[in-house]
Amino acid sequence: MPLLILYFFDPLSFSYTWKGRVMLVLFLWLAFVELFLAYEKLPRTFGRREAVTTLGSLLPPLLYAIGLSMLNFKSGIIELGKIVGVPYTQQDTWYLAISWPFSVEYLFFEAFLLTSVSVIYGVKCLKHFMVTSFFLATVGFFYTLDTFYPHGTLTALQMFVPSTASTVKAILSFMGYKVQAYTDSGGTMLYMLGQEEDFVVALFWPCAGIYSIILYSLTIILFLRNLRSPLKRKLSYVAIGAVGTYLTNVLRIVTICVIGSTSGQAAATVFHEYYSELYFIAWMVLYLLAIYGVERLFEHRRQATLSQHKNGGERALPPSLAMADSSLPNYNVKERWNQAQDH
């Protein structure tokens, strides 16, 4: 309900994948998935007291959505940002007016999620919403980091950017583009010779793949948590997915550079703000479907093996041993074969 109110008054904010509300839609999807997975483990009793508690827990986010949309709560959040020291200048207020309110919003919904689950189901049931809560907390945390340390000033995370820039440069050079990359005190820059004009990309840690890797990690934990699969295979899925996530992010930056060099800065900005994160979402959906397909194949093989054992009572012998068994009655080949298979 709060998200519907926010969408009604500000639908454009749900189009932005970075410092927008697209991640709240993903949060809602994750919440439904975890609720579905944990449904059998949650308390079933729901009387008058639980109904009143549920309605009461809904009031804070409703008041927030109504106040933000109709009562100008945002100005109060901006003033709070000035008090806590959000960096801004008279010429550049984006981090104070846009980035800071969204950071507060994600952290607020995180607090609401933890409180409402604790009140409605009990503190012990928070473990069933672990991935959802970590997802919101991670998005809010990284948004807040980028708000207080804009333009890559957080050097601890910025140190991973040059390797990503080098990979992007290598791919663009292989495609025939003239591109240069260098790192200085202002960050890591990519210079491309465009058809109409040169195109410059400034890479900071949110664009370098760290943000995508964190979101990937949370999603894969949710997916593999209830998967009946050996630990070694699960670790293989995690490792392959991490590499794929990194390469998907590199492809996203390459696409931005190509669009910028051929169609200009405005087109690159539109792609970056509205569509670029769809690369990651599409990759995650396809990768999880691939894992599901592989696990189905393993399950079919396992069921076929169990069915064979059940129907035959014994393991089938290879043709050569079957002939040996029929020709040498005093030599118990079948028993030896079953023992070898058990070993």
User: Could you read off the pLDDT of 109-153 as tens digits, one per residue?
Assistant: 999 888 888 888 888 888 888 878 888 888 888 888 888 887 766
The pLDDT mean for the chain works out to 79
**pLDDT at position 244 over 70:** yes
More confident residue, 11 or 306: 11
Residue 105 has what pLDDT?
92
Residue 98 has what pLDDT?
87
Full DSSP string of 3-36: HHHHHHH-GGGGT-SSSSSHHHHHHHHHHHHHHH
Per cent of the chain over pLDDT 90 is 6
pLDDT-derived band at 106 (thresholds 50, 70, 90) equals very high
Instruction: State the pTM of this model.
Output: 0.68
30 CB neighbour count, 10 Å cutoff: 20
CA angle (123, 129, 135) in 5-degree steps: 125
d(CA 101, CA 234): 38
- Name which of 35-39, 43-47, 171-175 the model is least confident about: 43-47
**In the structure encoding, which two tokens stand for residue 160, read together?**
């991973």
Domain ranges of the chain: 1-150, 313-342
